[in-house]
Structure 1
Amino acid sequence: MAGLLSPPRWWGTLKREWLLYHLGDPAFRFMFDPPPDQEWVSLDCETTGLNVRTDEIIAIAAVRIVGNRIMTSERLELLVRPERGVSAGSVRIHRLRERDVAQGLPIDEAVKQLMRFIGSRPLVGYYLEFDVAMLNRAIWPLLGQGLPQTRIEVSSLYYDHKFRQLSPYQRQVHADIDLHFSTLMQDLGLPLREAHDALNDAVMAALAFVKLRQLRGD
């Protein structure tokens, strides 16, 4: 039965070769290399809003994780210059004003730096799907495809951790599990940094990832 549910091993190889063949810029072939053992990259983006089709990235941060160590000395912090400016509403959230990002990088240069920093390492984040969708909108014109790395969602790891602690009855009735980031961090006994700062959010997601791996016995 497992063989029917899981794709055969050759399928992954075939998919990789297909993606490499259609890669728009061969300079980024390294993203398809085998990832370094026990290494990940935690990332976060700040944006002008939550619409992945129309809003823009204004800050990107990423930090490497090696084993159980968060390599804050090996981090990437980028400001990105948006094409349509920054609204007052978004400034209230991330505190980045238009003049703060006016000298930021163009988005295509920013994502190139990010891809070089990530390499082939799996990606870690909190609600990572949104960040990757925003990044892929900028990466697609450069590569003809999005980021190929494996993605690890911290909120999913936390959900699995809490679900294992529920009684059989609670599992049957689908007891609610609070996935708010502040709840997650406090429950794991981890320090809360100021939120809506790309580097702080990337570091906190990395802390949660390392703690959850330890609790799972990885």
Structure 2
Amino acid sequence: MKIFKWFRKGPELRAKDALRLGALAAPVVSELPLHKQRFVVVDLETSGLNTLKDKILSIGAVTIEDSAIALGHQFSCTLRRQNLTVSESVLIHQIPPSEVAAGIRPEKALLSFMEYVGSSPLLAFHASFDQRMLVREMEDAFAYQLRHPFYDVAEIAPLLYPEHNMRNPGLDDWVDFFGLQVLQRHNASADAMVTAELMLILLKRAEQQGIEDLATLDISLQNWRRRQQSGL
């Protein structure tokens, strides 16, 4: 009996895109202490909340390294999308259709972002949404499997500050909790910066609690999730 293997045919790539894709760094399992770890904090603005069909409209990202935000090395771009429907999500993020129509070619934008990420883990607030969007967009554009780990600041914050007494706190709630000064919100670059500022506070708290590296953070988060599920 013959066994046939079916393979999904990848998209046709421009030669330059294929070269850049092949040169992307794979994620590295780091044993660095947290205060030395490089993180990429990312925020996405999208055409909606359906991770199966909506599109990334803009990407904002900043780098944390040596427990500091690299202010001179940020990433920001708007992706070109044709025939964009002006949804409630687009209106909230204040991205005019003209800006989206004049944006960067999506494949180029995604490759540039992944080059910025390098081998580093990613951070986001409610990271599962950003992760699912990026995984699907990279798969659709390049048949590329995104394997970089994502850490959810919305989980790390209550893990380290269980005394917060807030019910399902959002990013604005944590901003108020720590008294952070925020000049702008609801665009990708601004939200990534706010998330990074919050993470700096959390990194200091993690060090005080003996969470020294990513492996220890992973274990702490797993234990925290179990407690949440059991209602403790």
The alignment's TM-score, normalised by the length of structure 1, stands at 0.77
Secondary structure class of the residue paired with 2:203 = helix
Q: Distance in 2 between matches of 1:88 and 1:49?
A: 7
Change (3 A) 1:176 1:65: closer
Secondary structure class of the residue paired with 1:74 = coil
Q: Distance in 2 between matches of 1:31 and 1:142?
A: 18
Could you tell me which residue of structure 1 aligns to residue 105 of structure 2? 106
Q: Distance in 2 between matches of 1:99 and 1:126?
A: 28
AA partner of residue 159 (structure 2): D
Provide Cα deviations, 1:95-142, integer angstroms capped at 9, x if missing partner: 111101111112211110000000011101101111121112121145
Secondary structure class of the residue paired with 1:72 = coil
Q: Distance in 2 between matches of 1:64 and 1:33?
A: 16
- Aligned pair partner of 1:179 in 163, 169, 174: 169
- Aligned pair partner of 2:23 in 27, 33, 39: 27
Secondary structure class of the residue paired with 1:51 = coil
Q: Distance in 2 between matches of 1:138 and 1:31?
A: 17
Secondary structure class of the residue paired with 2:64 = strand
Q: Distance in 2 between matches of 1:32 and 1:189?
A: 34
Gaps of 5+ in 1: 1-23, 167-174
Could you tell me which residue of structure 2 aligns to residue 116 of structure 1? 115
Could you list the runs of 4 or more consecutive aligned residues of structure 1 that deviate by over 6 angstroms after TM superposition? none
Q: 1:79 touches 1:105 (CA, 8 Å); kept in 2? A: yes
Matches within 5 A, 1:6-17: none
AA partner of residue 51 (structure 1): N
* Further displaced range: 144-153 or 197-206: 144-153
Q: Does 1:96 align with 2:90?
A: no
Give me the CA root mean square deviation: 2.2
Could you tell me which residue of structure 2 aligns to residue 13 of structure 1? none
Could you tell me which residue of structure 2 aligns to residue 80 of structure 1? 79
Change (3 A) 1:150 1:97: same
Provide Cα deviations, 1:16-67, integer angstroms capped at 9, x if missing partner: xxxxxxxx95322x22345585211001111111111121111111111112
Change (3 A) 1:27 1:141: farther
Q: Distance in 2 between matches of 1:153 and 1:88?
A: 26
Matches within 5 A, 1:88-167: 88-163=87-162, 165=163
AA partner of residue 65 (structure 2): V
Q: CA deviation at 1:198?
A: 0.4
Q: CA deviation at 1:179?
A: 1.5
Could you tell me which residue of structure 2 aligns to residue 57 of structure 1? 56
Could you tell me which residue of structure 1 aligns to residue 191 of structure 2? 201
Q: Distance in 2 between matches of 1:55 and 1:180?
A: 22
Q: 1:94 touches 1:197 (CA, 8 Å); kept in 2? A: yes
Q: CA deviation at 1:148?
A: 1.6
Could you tell me which residue of structure 2 aligns to residue 43 of structure 1? 42
Report the count of equivalent residues. 185
Q: Distance in 1 between matches of 2:82 and 2:63?
A: 29
Q: Distance in 1 between matches of 2:202 and 2:166?
A: 19
Could you tell me which residue of structure 1 aligns to residue 178 of structure 2? 188
Secondary structure class of the residue paired with 2:91 = helix
AA partner of residue 27 (structure 1): A
Could you tell me which residue of structure 1 aligns to residue 203 of structure 2? 213
Secondary structure class of the residue paired with 1:73 = coil
Q: CA deviation at 1:191?
A: 2.0
Identity %: 24
Change (3 A) 1:147 1:89: same
AA partner of residue 53 (structure 1): L
